[in-house]
């Protein structure tokens, strides 16, 4: 969750000016370090995720990423064998790397974010021995997609904790629309935590642009109490 393209700013949740009664509690800042995650036994070999906030709040592990990663890791290992997967606003790459480790994906998997996150994404790819299986790429919301991504034609798009900065909402929507145009049968798996009333305006706009369906997940009773939502977006 690090996007805003040219609207780069400190994420509002870290600004005292953004605090209000509709703002959910946030994770504490963490010192840079590496965390090992097996997602409650769903990974036989833990994922190593280096977290570092020096280049932006996306360098930290966020709750929607955990929910989305667990959702995919519970699926049969071969479910995504032929999928072409791309993660948006990947930060350190939590969701994409977890899927690459735990699922039998034949095509290279892309994790994408702004240039500030590129070195962290590449570091975490190497840290998990996933060079060649996972590619880090720069993708600024609202800007034309790169030729590599256009030719890749992702059909499974992952987005966790990408709703956090209201001025970036139209840019994110434009990129989601552009990605769905590449592959008519593509699905976007979108998980976010409501932190302020404006976050639900993004969902309202998404419902106008896409077919939006809430995903049934065994952890839903737990994560919904924490203000987390899990949806698919598809073309109308």
**pLDDT at site 207:** 96
Please state, for a pLDDT cut of 70, what percent of the chain lies above it. 85
Task: For residues 195 and 164, give the distance between their C-alpha atoms in angstroms, rounded to a whole number.
Answer: 8
Look up tokens 């904790």; give the residue: 161
End-to-end CA, the chain:
26
Which carries the bigger pLDDT value, residue 156 or residue 9? 156
**pLDDT at site 17:** 30
- Cβ distance 9 to 85 under 8 Å? no
Cα 121 to Cα 15, 232, 235: the distances in Å are 25, 25, 29
Q: Kindly report, residue by residue over 61-100, the tens digit of the pLDDT.
A: 789 999 999 999 999 999 999 999 999 999 999 999 999 9
Lowest mean pLDDT among 3-7, 24-28, 47-51: 3-7
Tell which residue, 82, 66, 46, has the closest CA to residue 1: 66
Strands (E) located in 114-194? 134-138, 156-160, 187-193
């Amino acid at each position: 969750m690090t996007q805003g393209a040219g609207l780069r700013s400190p994420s509002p949740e870290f600004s005292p000016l953004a605090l209000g009664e509709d703002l959910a509690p946030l994770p504490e800042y963490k010192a840079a370090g590496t965390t090992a995650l097996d997602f409650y036994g769903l990974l036989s070999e833990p994922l190593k995720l280096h977290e570092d906030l020096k280049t932006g709040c996306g360098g930290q592990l966020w709750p929607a990423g955990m929910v989305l990663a667990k959702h995919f890791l519970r699926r049969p290992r071969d479910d995504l064998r032929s999928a072409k997967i791309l993660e948006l606003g990947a930060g350190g790459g939590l969701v994409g790397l977890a899927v690459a480790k735990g699922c039998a994906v034949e095509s290279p998997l892309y994790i994408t974010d702004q240039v500030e996150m590129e070195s962290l994404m590449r570091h975490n790819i190497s840290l998990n021995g996933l060079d060649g299986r996972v590619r880090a790429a720069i993708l600024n919301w609202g800007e034309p997609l790169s030729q590599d991504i256009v030719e890749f034609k992702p059909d499974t798009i992952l987005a966790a904790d990408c709703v956090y900065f209201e001025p970036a909402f139209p840019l994110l929507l434009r990129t989601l629309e552009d990605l769905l145009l590449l592959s008519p049968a593509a699905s976007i798996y979108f998980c976010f935590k409501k932190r302020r009333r404006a976050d639900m305006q993004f969902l309202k706009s998404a419902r106008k642009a896409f077919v939006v369906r809430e995903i049934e997940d065994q952890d839903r009773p737990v994560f919904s109490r924490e203000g987390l939502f899990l949806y698919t977006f598809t073309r109308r």
